[in-house]
């Protein structure tokens, strides 16, 4: 990691990642309770909003065209600033339409940063370094989320939802504005400025699609399960997030090292096998302590998704990385745009159904992962 940390782009991306992670964690910590306690939304409404949240991810391929006008690292900074604006104004629009609009603004910033961040990591670090950088980013994200969780927990007794959204969003936007003054002078492969779809990346596309579909079920309905059915308060949700991120802070670097040592196929196999068990348990276990443990285990296993990116890094033409990363985000969000709404309907029939679907997607991912074939970096 010593040589990695000598690169200015490492610290630049780390600063933006901290802002993005902190902003998303603050928004997620407050959102479900704000939606239920202040706006009075149902599971269907939350499903629709979460589908809207994924529309910018579906449109991530538009980043390819934005890169014709602006350098990729500056697009990262603009995205973080936009995310901060969306979070800042959330509390000023406590209605169903208001949450749709502010969520959309926040999400454009978040997804475009995620797209450019992954692309810049794969372009600036070699195959042996990229899993370590991705792992370090995820680890730091967990630490930031802990700090954000503690902050929200303390502030929730003194500040309104509006004030907390405004404070968090303003801090995120400020980091994005700072990023606009950074100049990245390192040489990289000239990237294609067009949509890239290649047959040799087919397995990468399949794994990415299934990962996005499965992840959305967890993101939308796991916390909603805790709030709506088990009666968790914003303070309880916050403490769960803190414990979860504390665990992931220590575990994520170990998973990154395991990817480098044992290869992508084994790590993905372990992730998907565990997720099948976790989703089935979500559906049929009503004990809040077990559900909390499942939530943490779900986050730990999902760190294995780094292996999808490092797998792509090993099979990709260097010039395809930027465009292919944007396209992969769109593929990742095809199902994500539809599933939350469909899941909201299914939740109204029986809350178990979305989690059973998640287990099925995990099984398909397990099968697909067996076709991963790459040499260790």
Average pLDDT for residues 40-45, to the nearest whole number?
A: 76
Cα angle 351-247-301, degrees, rounded to a multiple of 5: 55
Is residue 358's pLDDT more than 50?
yes
For residues 57-86, one letter each, b for 16 or more C-beta atoms within 10 angstroms of the residue's C-beta and e for the rest, the string is bbbbbebbebbeeeebbbbbbbbbbbbbbb
| 241 domain residue, yes or no | yes
Q: Choose between 307 and 224: higher pLDDT.
A: 307
| 375 domain residue, yes or no | no
| 103 domain residue, yes or no | yes
Average pLDDT for residues 264-293, to the nearest whole number?
A: 89
| 374 domain residue, yes or no | no
| 111 domain residue, yes or no | yes
Is residue 61's pLDDT more than 70?
no
> What pLDDT, on the 0 to 100 scale, is given for residue 156?
82
Is residue 121's pLDDT more than 70?
yes
Range of the domain at 42: 2-183+190-369
Share of the chain above pLDDT 70, in %: 91
Q: CA 250, CA 303: separation in Å to the nearest integer? A: 12
| 284 domain residue, yes or no | yes
Each residue's pLDDT tens digit, 215-273: 778 777 887 778 777 777 777 877 787 788 788 888 888 888 888 888 889 999 999 99
> What pLDDT, on the 0 to 100 scale, is given for residue 90?
93
| 376 domain residue, yes or no | no
CATH classification at residue 19: 1.20.1250.20
Total domain count, the chain: 1
| 83 domain residue, yes or no | yes
Q: CA 115, CA 75: separation in Å to the nearest integer? A: 10
Each residue's pLDDT tens digit, 196-222: 677 888 898 899 888 888 877 877 788
Task: Tell me the whole-structure pTM to 2 decimals.
Answer: 0.75
Is residue 1's pLDDT more than 70?
no
């Amino acid at each position: 990691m010593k040589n990695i940390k000598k690169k200015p782009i490492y610290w630049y991306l780390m600063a933006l990642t901290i802002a993005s992670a902190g902003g998303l964690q603050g928004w997620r910590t407050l959102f479900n309770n704000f939606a239920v306690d202040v706006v009075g939304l149902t599971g269907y409404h939350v499903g629709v909003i979460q589908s809207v949240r994924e529309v910018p991810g579906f449109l991530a391929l538009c980043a390819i065209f934005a890169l014709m006008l602006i350098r990729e690292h500056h697009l990262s900074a603009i995205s973080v600033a936009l995310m901060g604006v969306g979070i800042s104004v959330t509390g000023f629009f406590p209605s169903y339409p208001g949450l749709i609009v502010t969520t959309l603004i926040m999400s454009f910033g978040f997804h475009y940063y995620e797209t450019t961040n992954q692309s810049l990591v794969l372009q600036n670090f070699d195959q042996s370094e990229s899993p370590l950088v991705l792992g370090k980013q995820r680890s730091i994200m967990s630490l930031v989320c802990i700090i954000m969780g503690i902050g929200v927990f303390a502030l929730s007794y003194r500040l309104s939802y509006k004030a907390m959204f405004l404070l968090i969003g303003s801090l995120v936007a400020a980091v994005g504005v700072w990023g606009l003054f950074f100049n990245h002078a390192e040489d990289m492969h000239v990237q294609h400025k067009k949509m890239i779809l290649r047959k040799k990346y087919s397995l990468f596309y399949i794994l990415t699609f299934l990962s996005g579909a499965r992840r959305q079920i967890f993101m939308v309905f796991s916390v909603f399960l805790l709030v709506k059915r088990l009666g968790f308060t914003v303070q309880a949700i916050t403490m769960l997030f803190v414990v979860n991120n504390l665990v992931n802070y220590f575990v994520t670097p170990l998973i990154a090292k395991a990817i480098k040592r044992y290869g992508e196929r084994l790590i993905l196999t372990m992730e998907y096998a565990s997720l099948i068990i976790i989703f089935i348990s979500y559906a049929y276990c009503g004990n809040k302590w077990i559900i909390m443990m499942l939530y943490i285990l779900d986050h730990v296993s999902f760190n294995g998704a780094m292996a999808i990116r490092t797998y792509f890094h090993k099979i990709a033409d260097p010039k395809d990385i930027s465009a292919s990363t944007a396209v992969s985000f769109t593929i990742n969000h095809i199902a994500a745009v539809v599933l939350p709404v469909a899941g909201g309907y299914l939740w109204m029939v029986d809350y178990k159904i979305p989690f059973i679907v998640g287990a099925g997607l995990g099984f398909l991912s397990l099968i697909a992962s067996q076709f991963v074939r790459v040499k260790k970096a």
